[in-house]
Structure 1
Amino acid sequence: METRKVQKTNSPAFFLFSITITAAAFNCIWWLITSSNDTDKKMLLDDSTNLLLLLYTLSLAAGFFLTFNKLITHYWSLLAIMVSVLTSISLSRADWKIALLMLLFPVLIFITNFAVLGLKSFFGLIASAFMSGAVMPSILFYFKNGGLTQNSSTLLITITLIFAFFLAPIFIASGPLETSTGLIFGLALIINLSMKGMTHFFWINALLILLTWIFLAKLTLRQKYRLPIYSMMMLISGLLFFYQIQA
Structure 2
Amino acid sequence: MMNLPESDSEDELPPGWEERVTGDGSVYYANHLTKNTQWTHPRTGKKKVVLGDLPYGWERCIDKSTGKVLYIDHENHRTTYTDPRLAFAVEEKEHINDFRQRFDASSTALHVLHGRDLTNTTALITGANTGIGFETARSLLKHGCKVIFGCRNVRAAEEAIEKIRQEKSTAAENCEALHLDLTSLKSVVTFANVVKVKYKVLNAVILNAGVFGLPYSKTEDGYETTFQVRKFDTGHNLSQYFIT
Fold shared by both chains (TM-score > 0.5):
no
**Structure with more of its chain in helix, by fraction:** 1
TM-score normalised per structure 1: 0.25
TM-score (norm 2): 0.26
Q: Report which of the two has the higher share of strand.
A: 2
